[in-house]
């Protein structure tokens, strides 16, 4: 009987802990495809934390987070240049970020547009799992109408009127 009680307590604790979806990227700039994935994640998780990380292969990463993200209730954070996402997740588990206000089961969110993104993400996720074997990762596909949208495209052509509406302000 005691064994069942401890299982019941474990299940109660497990299901009472909120799930935090962590959507990380360079987001330079944050565009409609990113917003689509973030909004889908918001329906899947108790809270969503959008984290900007530095991508050394991308130049001109000067874009601020759009105001709409705070208005929609997303948490926002920026990784330092030398900080690994897996270390950031560990620090959440160690409760080093008071602004999150609670215990969370953390799940990494990775956005996909197509099979090319999937191949890239498959390798990246293998690296995350090498660094943190117990990491949980979910892939979310953006709406097909955003398949052509990329930050690289918008850094090149975002100044043109036809592309301005794709950058989230």
- CATH code of residue 93: 3.40.50.620
Contact 52, 25 (CB under 8 A): yes
- Please state the domain count of the chain: 1
Q: What pLDDT, on the 0 to 100 scale, is given for residue 83?
A: 87
Residue 3 falls inside a structural domain = no
Most confident of 34-43, 105-114, 129-138: 34-43
Rounded to whole angstroms, the Cα distance separating 140 from 137 reads: 10
% residues pLDDT > 70 (the chain): 83
Q: How far is CA 80 from CA 10, 91, 152, in A?
A: 36, 14, 22
Q: Where are the beta strands (DSSP E) in 34-167?
A: 47-52, 75-78, 104-112, 137-141
Q: What pLDDT, on the 0 to 100 scale, is given for residue 159?
A: 87
Query: Quick one: pLDDT band at residue 98, thresholds 50, 70, 90?
Result: low
Residue pLDDT, tens place only, 34-84: 999 999 999 999 999 999 988 777 766 667 899 999 999 999 999 888 888
Residue 137 falls inside a structural domain = yes
**Residue 42 belongs to domain spanning:** 18-164
With CA atoms as reference, report the closest residue to 84 among 121, 119, 53: 53
With CA atoms as reference, report the closest residue to 24 among 124, 94, 114, 129: 124
Residue 8 falls inside a structural domain = no
Mean pLDDT of all residues belonging to the chain: 85
């Amino acid at each position: 009987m005691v064994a069942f009680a401890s299982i019941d307590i474990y299940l109660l604790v497990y299901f009472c802990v909120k799930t935090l979806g962590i959507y990380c990227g360079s987001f330079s700039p944050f565009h409609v495809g990113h917003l689509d994935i973030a909004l889908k994640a918001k329906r899947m998780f108790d809270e969503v934390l959008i984290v900007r990380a530095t991508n050394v292969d991308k130049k001109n990463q000067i874009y601020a987070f759009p105001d709409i993200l705070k208005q929609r209730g997303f948490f926002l954070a920026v990784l330092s240049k030398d900080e690994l996402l897996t270390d950031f997740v560990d620090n959440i588990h160690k409760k080093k970020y008071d602004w999150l206000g609670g215990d969370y089961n953390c799940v990494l969110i990775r956005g996909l547009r197509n099979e090319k993104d999937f191949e890239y993400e498959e390798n990246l996720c293998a690296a995350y799992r090498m660094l943190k074997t117990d990491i949980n990762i979910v892939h979310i596909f953006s709406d097909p109408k955003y398949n052509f949208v990329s930050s690289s495209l918008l850094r090149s052509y975002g100044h043109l009127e036809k592309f301005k509406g794709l950058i989230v302000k």
